[in-house]
Amino acid sequence: GSLIGLGRPPYIWRATNWSDTSTYEVEAVDNTVMGEDPFLYVDPNNNDSSILHGLSHAGGWDSRGGHSWSLDGGKTWKSHEDIASYGSLIEFTDGTTGVLTRRERPHLIFDKKGNLQALTNGATLDPCTHPDYCDKDYCFTALQKLNQE
């Protein structure tokens, strides 16, 4: 199969064969997914598989996530910069909540039919936002079920 990958903006990687590095090409483009750590996916329940989605965290010390999409195979991207795809509040299985001051490296979990089930992130809890304010450098993997109503 082929490959499309995004790095820190503005780079996009493409390959006609993901397992053959001689087919890899790197291109600088004007506009890609905003933020860091993009996760790319095609919505398996959408009949138009040409729509490429990108989920990323806002970058820096911001714990919100962003969603972008491309209708042309990743050459150009659009996003709603005023709408966060996820925020800093997380609810744990015991009913308590926490404020995540870092929520990076988003990944979506799909079931066998392609339905979205959960979001995972590398995360830290308040008050650890920056090494200057936290004496321990730590993070954990947060898994949050998605509302499927």
Model pLDDT for residues 59-118, shown as the tens digit of each residue: 666 778 888 888 887 777 888 777 888 888 888 889 999 888 888 888 999 999 888 899
What is the predicted pLDDT for the residue at 12?
84
Other CB atoms within 10 A of residue 30 CB? 9
Tell me: pLDDT of 138 over 70: yes
Measure the CA–CA gap between 33 and 102, rounded to whole angstroms. 19
What band does 22 get if pLDDT is binned at 50, 70 and 90?
A: very high
Measure the CA–CA gap between 138 and 125, rounded to whole angstroms. 9
